Amino acid sequence: MNNMNYVDGFVAAVPTANREIYRQHAEKAAVIFKEYGAVSVVECWGDDVPEGKLTSFPMAVKCQPDETVVFSWVTWPSRQTRDEAWKKVMEDPRMQPDANPMPFDGKRLIYGGFEMIAEA
């Protein structure tokens, strides 16, 4: 049995002018994730994110010149906790677009769930 945590990872392109709006959006969402069992929520604003030749974070999210790549992750105690929490998160009125609109193009958000296999 794997006793390690489960992680949701996210990469998005956010209009650089929306940095503070994005931070506020992320803080509101983090409260909700933690209410439903997240261990931690980390939001990172791109600072040194090079453009690649074949692949890169900017290419993956079709980052435009007036946008910045953000990299985020949510740590959960288990996949089961995460799966149950996401159902609740998506139904939570505080996460609806009218209550907490995404300050970026959600169609270019990439995400996935990851089983931790090592941690130092």
Is residue 104 situated within a structural domain?
yes
**Domains of the chain: total:** 1
In this predicted structure, the answer to whether residue 116 has a pLDDT above a threshold of 90 is: yes
pTM score of the predicted model: 0.91
pLDDT in tens, 19-70: 999 999 999 999 999 999 999 999 999 999 999 999 999 999 999 999 999 9
CATH of the domain at 11: 3.30.70.100
Out of 1-10, 26-35, 64-73, 84-93, which region has the weakest mean confidence (pLDDT)? 1-10
Residues 6+ away with beta carbon under 8 Å from 29 = 41, 95, 100
Question: Which helix or strand (DSSP H or E) is residue 47 part of?
Answer: none
Is residue 61 situated within a structural domain?
yes
Is residue 120 situated within a structural domain?
no
Range of the domain at 76: 6-115
